[in-house]
Copies of this chain bind each other. A is one copy, B any other.
Amino acid sequence: MTTVDLNSDMGESFGVYKMGDDAAMLKIVSTANVACGFHAGDPLIMYETVATAKANGVAIGAHPSFRDLWGFGRRPIHGERPDDVMKEVIYQIGALQGIASAAGHRVTHVKTHGSLGNLAEGDEGLAMAVARATKAVDAGLILMVTPGNQLERAGERLGLRMVREVYADRTYDDNGYLTSRKLPGAVIHDAKAATARVIQMVQTRTITAVSGKKLLVNIDTICVHGDNPAAVDMARAIRAGLEAAGVTVSPFAQTIN
């Protein structure tokens, strides 16, 4: 029986401000990456997200970011020492662990958010900072990575358990890298097309690159979005499509070693 994980970023509201339809997404995905207050999220939202995830059998992970609420963690912030970034990530993981502990749930993974992730993927120092932070809080935590970059390498060097993800709504080039968002067609907006791609990835362990070339992939989790109604619909279609194709959607945390 084939199984795969569906993950999505959540808990990205702040105070009175709402972001995404977490209630809907927590019925669709098997894993939630929970914002920890640096780019979004606050203790109330984190608690609500974690408790609802628990109730729905959804696994949770920390989704740490640069300290940048106004920029939603998307501004590339340079000039921080990796050692300092490590401590910022530790703080965020710990905060979510506290919340999870109180809500009767358990943090099983770490996935970087926004610019922290983008910069860490290309910078060995930052990548090691994230991996070290993960290991320092709990060596059993799983690091979620996109295959082929510094973050994956850092996780390997430290012997972390890792899961690899692909994006349901993005296209890839012949080397397995995401095509630039600036290119036409780089983002897939059609739910059926995205579903078909995802089923292919899971069942045949290949992605069809934009050139038509088939790439071998070994994927543990598929990232879907919930920040607008169309995204939620696409995520729902993907889950339904996977199940109709006989694929079981369940948290990677239960299946990887």
Contacts and interface: CB of A to CB of B under 8 A. Distances in A.
A88 interface: yes
Nearest to A136: B102
Given A78-B75, A91-B37, A102 B15 contact: no
B47 A90 contact: yes
Nearest to A87: B43
Given A43-B90, A75-B79, A15 B101 contact: no
A131 B47 CA distance: 17
A17 to B, nearest CB: 4
A14 interface: yes
Contacts of A88: 42-44
Contacts of A138: 101
Interface residues of A, number: 44
Interface stretch (A65-73, A209-217, A230-238): A65-73
Nearest to A132: B102
A120 to B, nearest CB: 15
A19 B16 CA distance: 9
A156 interface: no
A23 interface: no
Interface string A94-123: 111111011000000000000100000000
Contact of A15 (B70, B94, B98): B70
A247 to B, nearest CB: 33
Contact of A70 (B67, B92, B98, B137): B67
A46 B89 CA distance: 13
Closest 4 CB pairs of A and B: A94-B98, A102-B136, A17-B17, A43-B91
